[in-house]
């Protein structure tokens, strides 16, 4: 019987019911406004009504650096996990490094 209660679907169902009961009990304690203003359904934008003045970030400089770090971290992971016993694994790692270097040259090429 103990193993059946620990199975993921049953444990999830039990916890879901417990959390719904707790949420229902705590909702009785929550603060409820007597007078609800007309803008309750609108999203909060720091008191701004004009959404066109928000900052629109430019990610054109971010993505090359994000890809750069991703490529280098994956290459470091591959190099760190290559077994040293076989020449074939070393050859695969060298080919992978060469591919990463070519990818970095393509990433940072001047147009």
Residue 87 lies in a domain: yes
pTM of this structure: 0.43
Residue 89 lies in a domain: yes
What is the reported pLDDT for 21? Answer: 95
What is the reported pLDDT for 52? Answer: 63
Residue 103 lies in a domain: yes
Q: Which letter does DSSP use for residue 34 in this model? A: S
| Alpha-carbon radius of gyration of the chain | 28
Q: Total domain count for the chain?
A: 1
Over residues 24-65, the pLDDT tens digits come to: 999 888 777 666 666 566 666 666 666 666 667 778 878 888
What lies within 8 Å, CB to CB, of 107 at 6+ separation is 64, 67, 68, 71
The residue range of the domain holding 63 is 59-111
C-alpha distances in Å from residue 30, one per residue of 24, 41, 97: 10, 18, 58
Residue 50 lies in a domain: no
Residue 37 lies in a domain: no
């Amino acid at each position: 019987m103990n193993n059946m209660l620990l199975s993921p679907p049953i444990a999830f169902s039990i916890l879901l019911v417990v959390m719904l009961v707790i949420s229902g009990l705590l909702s009785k304690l929550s603060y409820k406004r007597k007078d609800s203003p007309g803008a309750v359904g609108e999203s909060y934008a720091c008191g701004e009504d004009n959404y066109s003045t928000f900052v629109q970030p430019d990610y054109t400089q971010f993505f090359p650096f994000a890809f750069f770090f991703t490529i280098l971290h994956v290459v470091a992971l591959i190099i760190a996990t290559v077994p040293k016993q076989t020449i074939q694994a070393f050859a695969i790692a060298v080919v992978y490094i060469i591919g990463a270097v070519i990818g970095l040259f393509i990433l940072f090429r001047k147009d």
